[in-house]
Structure 1
Amino acid sequence: MNSTEEEIANFSAVTEGRLQIWNNQSKDPSVYISATGFLNDRQFGIISLVFVSISQICSVIAVVSNSLSITVFARLGFSEPSNISLVALAASDLACAVLLIWANSCFLLSSMDVRIPFDATNVSFLTGSMPWAFISRTVAWITAFISFERCLCILVPLKVKKLITSKSTLTAMIIIFLFTVCPGIIGFIRYRFTLVFYPYLNTTILDAVPVDNEYIIQIDYIITVICGFIQPLLAFFIVLMYTIFLIVQLRKLSSWRKSVTSANSQWQHKPGENPALNSPPTQDRSFRKEESLVRMVVAIATIFIVSYTPTCIMLLCSTIFNEFFFFGVYKRMFIVCGMATFLAQTISGGVNILIYYYMASKFRSALRCLLRLDRQ
């Protein structure tokens, strides 16, 4: 028997063992079915390895970039409410990157046939992929809040400083965190960790299996619908709506600034005139700053929309096809699609620092000072 046949035999033994365990603990067939779906062992292994390797590199980059962003914003201070929301966004992206590094590491160890005292796929799903999914909802809602904040600055510019303060922004971040993460903690009651003996390994390892309880299953279903479907899709469409509004307003701001610049080019200060006549250039600088902030928020929101679109498509597919989930018939397709969404959102969280650097002069100066790229 060659190595490929041994891997297939081992996979079959593990699958058979899990089927037996789940058969004894659950009456719901959709819970314990584990099949190859459209992918065989070789295809699934190659695709997964490529996604995981690239994702691991991007996750490490995201950890570094978001750590730098948090440090820079902390140096700039939190007198500006936007700094609080941007720090919360960077912290959420950082948490997602760390969790993804853990999940990817488990997969790589498993693929290299390294003996570890737990089932890498199921345990990493509950301790890495599943928490990542809930924290990614936090990223979505923080992005929605940042877009909403910038829309308020355009709609009610005279009242926005009273509505959006450092205290109200911090409160909003806490509410978003509780709204997105806490239900995920309740979702863990659906599964439990247990020691399982696998004959082909001749050892007992830690595994995660579903809990057979109709009441818990109903609670898990409600949480899945609310947190796994309604929350992310609602946040996605809110960000999309606000982004479209900001793009329209940005064009108006650009047109207005060009007209003001044209008028200012014809305006010249004459000796003896009132210095108050310098207001047009002052207004121009103010609108330049506002336009720059709007552009930065639009860039952040656009990257989020692009990276979050695969997640929304995946959620819609899991709703339409009942067996398209982690413990379903199309488990392998679900895992591969999940890896693609992880990679897309990790890249999104890692490139935000580039947006801050090129679009925020204070952030750029503080970062260059932190990295000692400037002499002063």
Structure 2
Amino acid sequence: MDPEKVEVRASSENFLTTMSPLQMWTHQAKNPPLLSLETGLLTDEQFDIISWILVFIIQMINLSGLVTNILSIIVFTRLGFSEASNISLTALAICDLSCMVFSMWANLCYLPVFRDSRLPFNVYSVKLLTGSGLWAYIVRTAAWITAFISFERCLCILVPLKVKRLITPRTTTIAMIVISMLTVGPYIFMHVRFHFGWVFYPHLNATIFDIVPVNEKNLILGEQIIMVLCGLIQPVLAFAIVVTCTVFLISQLKKISSWRKSVTSTKNQKQNSEDKSAPTTAGTGTSISQKEERLVRMVVVIATTFIVCFIPTCVAAMFDDSFYEGTYRRIFAILILINFLGGSVSGSVNIIIYYNMASKYRLGLRRLLRLDHEE
């Protein structure tokens, strides 16, 4: 594309009303600086201080997340993939590890010292395709894997005798591949709609590396469809599934707990010990073993952590273009950093959940770190 045409299009006032979020962020990066558009609410100095603090916290969490997810992948690999749950948890750890890598790069671009430096490329727009954009797609993959894990545990309670035939290592592997293709696959389209190139900017008197949109009607229509599917429907639907399954699992765990208390109070110790191997949930007629119950509890904690950490992303999706078009751009930038923070926390704490709630994982991790000296 001709650089002069790009410059003319970017300077058009009417362009703001028709561009997609990715185009808008690109436009904002090419024109007036981020700090000069917002009036009130936050000063330049306040915004810089908040950015430094958030980025520092996020990067520290990302560093710990890199280590913990690598350890988790190694432990699950050593445990083997004969159990379907190990496959899905490994896929989740791989997604979390990828999110940490791209989050580190994207958050580096938010630092004032990096953002305001005279680099030979457009920090904000290049970051979208190489950092935050890809991070967003992988976060959706992690969301759907969490939804799959939660739904699988629900099936274990609803149809315990059939779930072993429905959820096998083979079907779980296929499910992980399909989820990855449906969530990350559309990212490839963004490299068709936008490509990297050198663009000359008269106000800078310099040619810098940037992303340039391809203005073809079919590609623009395809981008709009992908934005709706991947930017709205996919994450909201995954979030709704996780919330629904988590509520169901919590209610069933309460029924199991109530049933056990009633058994303990009405039967002798011998009868109670015999029934423990196959407790029946009150009012449902289904049964799960103690091992399955522990796994359900672990999934509930994982899903609950995901729900809490995913709330900022859902809040950001509620705002329209006017929120980050000018007046509230600094606030929107802070909200984006909080999104990164939530994703980093969600992807870093799983090792704590596994260690405290999964005996095989705990033993495998201790052996890996050589903490059990007697063995």
Match of 1:307 among 303, 306, 309: 309
Deviation at 1:95, TM superposition (A): 0.5
The within-5 A match list for 1:187-336 is 187-197=190-200, 203-262=206-265, 265-267=268-270, 279-283=274-278, 287-317=289-319, 321-324=320-323, 330-336=328-334
Name whichever of 170-179 and 191-200 sits farther off.
191-200
Matched, 1:81 2:81: no
CA contact (8 A) 1:55 1:343 kept: yes
For residue 222 of structure 1, give the secondary structure of its aligned residue in structure 2. Answer: helix
Q: Which residue of 2 aligns with 1:371?
A: 369
Matched, 1:63 2:66: yes
Q: TM-score, normalised by structure 1?
A: 0.84
For residue 334 of structure 1, give the secondary structure of its aligned residue in structure 2. Answer: helix
- Separation of aligned partners in 1, 2:214 and 2:6: 14
Amino acid at match of 1:362: K
What stretches of structure 2 of length at least 5 have no aligned partner? 280-286
Runs of 4+, deviation exceeding 6 Å: 24-27
For residue 116 of structure 1, give the secondary structure of its aligned residue in structure 2. Answer: coil
- Going from structure 1 to structure 2, the CA distance change for 1:212 and 1:336 (only over 3 Å counts) comes to farther
For residue 322 of structure 2, give the secondary structure of its aligned residue in structure 1. Answer: coil
- Separation of aligned partners in 2, 1:224 and 1:51: 27
Q: How many pairs were matched up?
A: 348
What stretches of structure 1 of length at least 5 have no aligned partner? 1-16, 269-276
Higher Cα radius of gyration: 1
Deviation sequence 1:36-84 (CA, Å, 0-9, x none): 2355533332222222121111111111111111111101111110000
Amino acid at match of 2:38: G
For residue 297 of structure 1, give the secondary structure of its aligned residue in structure 2. Answer: helix
- Going from structure 1 to structure 2, the CA distance change for 1:178 and 1:328 (only over 3 Å counts) comes to farther
Amino acid at match of 2:196: F
Q: Which residue of 2 aligns with 1:353?
A: 351
CA contact (8 A) 2:298 2:354 kept: yes
Deviation at 1:247, TM superposition (A): 0.3
The within-5 A match list for 1:72-151 is 72-108=75-111, 110-111=113-114, 114-151=117-154
- Separation of aligned partners in 2, 1:18 and 1:37: 28
- Separation of aligned partners in 1, 2:187 and 2:249: 32
- Going from structure 1 to structure 2, the CA distance change for 1:304 and 1:43 (only over 3 Å counts) comes to same
Q: Which residue of 1 aligns with 2:340?
A: 342
For residue 125 of structure 1, give the secondary structure of its aligned residue in structure 2. Answer: helix
- Separation of aligned partners in 2, 1:316 and 1:151: 29
- Separation of aligned partners in 1, 2:177 and 2:149: 14
CA contact (8 A) 1:264 1:281 kept: no
- Separation of aligned partners in 1, 2:372 and 2:204: 57
Amino acid at match of 1:185: I
For residue 52 of structure 1, give the secondary structure of its aligned residue in structure 2. Answer: helix
Name whichever of 279-288 and 203-212 sits farther off.
279-288
The percent identity for this pair of structures is 51
Deviation sequence 1:159-188 (CA, Å, 0-9, x none): 110011000000100110011111122133
CA contact (8 A) 1:25 1:211 kept: no
For residue 28 of structure 1, give the secondary structure of its aligned residue in structure 2. Answer: helix
- Separation of aligned partners in 2, 1:303 and 1:113: 35
- Separation of aligned partners in 2, 1:335 and 1:228: 18
Match of 2:189 among 186, 190, 197: 186
Deviation at 1:198, TM superposition (A): 5.1
